């Protein structure tokens, strides 16, 4: 087994990690990350201190690796950081505005820093601000914006120069419900355009589950797990919780005859796992044959929360 992330939605690797280590003083923050990230929309998860932001900042060239390296869109972070930054849009978690700037001036400046000529940067600034819904407010100074508007302005600058990869660090942080819904809608639109890859770092599992197809989970500076969410759910065993009225023991005997694993709970409930080839209708048929009523049946599959908690419970090591 190897400490790696094999995410297979797209053939081209967006991020390649090759023994990546980052140390601050005596503290090793990233501990030899190795793997590939190739998906269209990747959720980056982990508890506080897991190394999420350090990984992002290292990919952007803010930190120098202690050992190993990484490649972003085929470019090595040790030698090609200028090319990498030109192809990445980054929405930071914390506000990073310059006092006195209007939104359009700020977004134009960031697009210029990313490599666009001045005139083209200004045109893209107007377009991106209209896209996120700030067109009417684009000449206002950023310090007059609400928190929700500031987050939208940060998203506008991240996409203005037409990047191939957009990294979003806590994009719904401190947003009220309407602005949060709008932000998630925009993220999904960008994802579904097919023109850009996304990495979404968030502590909100629901946001990642709504927007991402795959997840990379860090724990203590190591890769705890990585998976395609839909493939993971299909691979997981199918749990059924059933509440019955009638002779439960006779129904349990029928489940055993169908090859189901089961556990009795309380006086009327059964938790069972459906083997391959057994369908819900087979359970109702078995109950009907024995004059047993199925009062309630819940079909459950692992959620992202289940996957995350399982990753946190297991000892981080080599995947």
pLDDT in tens, 21-37: 999 999 999 999 998 88
Write out the H or E segment, with its range, that includes residue 105: helix 103-113
The pLDDT score that the predictor gives to residue 301 is 63
Instruction: Provide φ and ψ at 212, rounded to 5°.
Output: -115, 150
103: burial class by Cβ within 10 Å (0-12, 13-18, 19+)?
Answer: buried
Q: Which residues of 107-125 are buried (b: 16+ CB within 10 A; e: fewer)?
A: bbbbbbebebeeebbbebb
Write out the H or E segment, with its range, that includes residue 90: strand 88-91
The pLDDT score that the predictor gives to residue 236 is 60
Contact 318, 2 (CB under 8 A): yes
The pLDDT score that the predictor gives to residue 302 is 64
Whether residue 162 is predicted with pLDDT greater than 90 in this model: the reply is yes
Domain boundaries, the chain: 15-231, 237-300
What topology does CATH give the domain 15-231? Answer: Rossmann fold (3.40.50)
Query: For the chain, what's the residue count?
Result: 319
In the 8-state DSSP scheme, what is residue 144?
G
What topology does CATH give the domain 237-300? Answer: Alpha-Beta Plaits (3.30.70)
Contact 252, 242 (CB under 8 A): no
The pLDDT score that the predictor gives to residue 310 is 79
Give tens-digit pLDDT for 117-146: 999 999 999 999 999 999 999 999 999 999
């Amino acid at each position: 087994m190897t400490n790696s992330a094999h995410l297979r939605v797209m053939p081209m690797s967006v991020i390649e990690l090759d023994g990546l280590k980052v140390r601050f003083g005596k503290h090793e923050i990233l501990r030899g990350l190795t793997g590939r990230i190739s998906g269209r929309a990747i959720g980056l998860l982990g508890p506080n201190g897991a190394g999420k932001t350090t990984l992002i900042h290292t990919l952007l060239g803010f930190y120098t690796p202690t050992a190993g390296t990484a490649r972003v869109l085929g470019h090595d972070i040790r030698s090609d950081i200028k090319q990498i930054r030109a192809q990445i849009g980054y929405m930071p978690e914390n506000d990073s505005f310059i006092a006195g700037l209007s939104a359009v001036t700020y977004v134009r400046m960031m697009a210029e820093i990313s490599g666009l000529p001045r005139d083209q940067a200004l045109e893209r600034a107007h377009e991106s601000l209209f896209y996120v819904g700030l067109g009417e407010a684009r000449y206002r100074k950023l310090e007059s914006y609400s928190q929700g508007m500031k987050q939208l302005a940060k998203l506008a600058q991240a996409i203005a120069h037409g990047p191939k990869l957009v990294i979003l660090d806590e994009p719904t942080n401190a947003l009220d419900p309407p602005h949060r819904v709008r932000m998630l809608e925009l993220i999904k639109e960008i994802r579904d355009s097919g023109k850009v890859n996304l990495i979404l770092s968030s502590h909100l599992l629901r946001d990642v589950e709504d927007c991402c197809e795959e997840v990379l989970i860090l724990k203590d500076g190591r890769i705890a797990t990585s998976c395609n969410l839909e493939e993971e759910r299909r691979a997981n065993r199918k749990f059924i919780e059933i509440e019955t009225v009638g002779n439960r023991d006779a129904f349990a005997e029928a489940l055993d005859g169908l090859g189901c694993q089961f556990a009795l709970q309380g006086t009327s409930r059964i938790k069972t796992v459906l083997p391959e080839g057994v369908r819900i209708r087979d359970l109702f048929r078995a109950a009907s044959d024995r004059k047993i009523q199925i009062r309630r049946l819940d079909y459950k599959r692992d959620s992202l929360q289940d996957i995350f908690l399982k990753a946190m419970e297991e000892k981080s090591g080599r995947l």
